[in-house]
Structure 1
């Protein structure tokens, strides 16, 4: 990642997780051996990855949502059920106010997220001056992407019209994509079994 880039991080942790039936952010992250647990939650694990490349890092969570104590700034999304678009806007606005021109925005449920993905996205964002750079592995991953922080106003305008789709922001922006050689980096999990199978295959 270019040293001169001001890159914040935004972790979206406030989703309702209907398919999982529980909060993904506090799901225990599997340990290094069968049947073990590292004592780390998903949100702490994702924060550990994102904070290697991004500063400051904001965690957008629901009002009243319990979170572990973390070295991150917590933003409470007071309006629930509207999807990730307004939550992304909250995070980007906070990042802009902190002085960052770009922010890596990700969901909390990608256990194999790696810094190499962030580096590749930022590099293309700098080279092309694109407003959004997202991964593609046969489908677009807008919740593992780099955004210009000044898109917060555009998001607010879209939300004010009743828009809830992340793709609506992409359609209204100068967007670029990178092809992922390994789609596991952006694989989402929807159950504890999914998580363990992905992190500890064969365990």
Structure 2
């Protein structure tokens, strides 16, 4: 991934249709006796972002050990707001001992991210290549998502956006009627990228126990 990119997993939803926290669902175990130690859906999405080339991965959702929303009950926009606060150095991430600004000043290996790749926790079929193509096309210059799909998407973090983007999100959070991802992308003049051939199935998200069971069965079939 040529442009340094931080990943953000949106995992702060209520999972009401699933009946339990989606982020903590255990993935299908390759061996029956390994169910207790099986990685979770959240683990899978973290690994996916690493495979796609993200230099860092943030998690939105205090219940799963991630960033707490600064604005309660405001949906995914609040998770984006918390991530931008970490990336601009205003607060610490629970996954690092230092602020991002401290890392930049004290660790010569630290690379300032130029864009933020946002994914939901419930799209496990996304591939690293699909995410890489989105990030390469955005190149830190614009907000970008695939045609007909709002998620995943990329937000620019370069110098020209580092102040305006957090301010835009904060302003939207102050208006209770305008807090959707769609509204944010429209506000930013987001561009779209055509969905690659035969990739539509990767955008399937899991909301119910039946959908989860079907995905687990399909995943097990692929492994076998």
Normalised-by-shorter TM-score class: 0.7 to 0.9
Over 6 Å off, 4+ runs: 33-36
* Superposition map of 1:1-203 within 5 A: 1-2=1-2, 5-32=3-30, 37=35, 39-52=38-51, 53-62=53-62, 65-67=63-65, 74-97=66-89, 98=100, 99-126=112-139, 129-130=141-142, 132-136=143-147, 139-141=148-150, 143-149=151-157, 150=162, 151-162=165-176, 163-180=178-195, 181=197, 182-201=199-218
User: Contact 2:68–2:79 (CA<8 Å) still a contact in 1?
Assistant: no
User: Contact 1:30–1:36 (CA<8 Å) still a contact in 2?
Assistant: no
TM-score of the two chains, using structure 1 as the length reference: 0.82
User: Of Structure 1 and Structure 2, which has the larger fraction of its residues in strand?
Assistant: 1
User: Contact 2:70–2:78 (CA<8 Å) still a contact in 1?
Assistant: no
TM-score of the two chains, using structure 2 as the length reference: 0.75
**What is the rounded CA distance, in whole Å, between the counterparts of 1:188 and 1:39 in structure 2?**
20
Unaligned runs of 5+ in 2: 90-99, 101-111
Unaligned runs of 5+ in 1: 68-73
Seen in structure 2, the aligned counterparts of structure 1 residues 187 and 95 have a Cα distance that, compared at 3 Å, is: farther
- RMSD across aligned C-alpha pairs, in angstroms? 2.4
Seen in structure 2, the aligned counterparts of structure 1 residues 115 and 27 have a Cα distance that, compared at 3 Å, is: same
> Mean Cα displacement is larger for which, 165-174 or 190-199?
190-199
Structure of higher CA gyration radius: 2
Give 1:70's aligned residue.
Answer: none
Q: For 1:120-139, what per-residue CA distance to the aligned partner results, in whole angstroms no more than 9, with x for missing partners?
A: 11111028x22x11122xx2
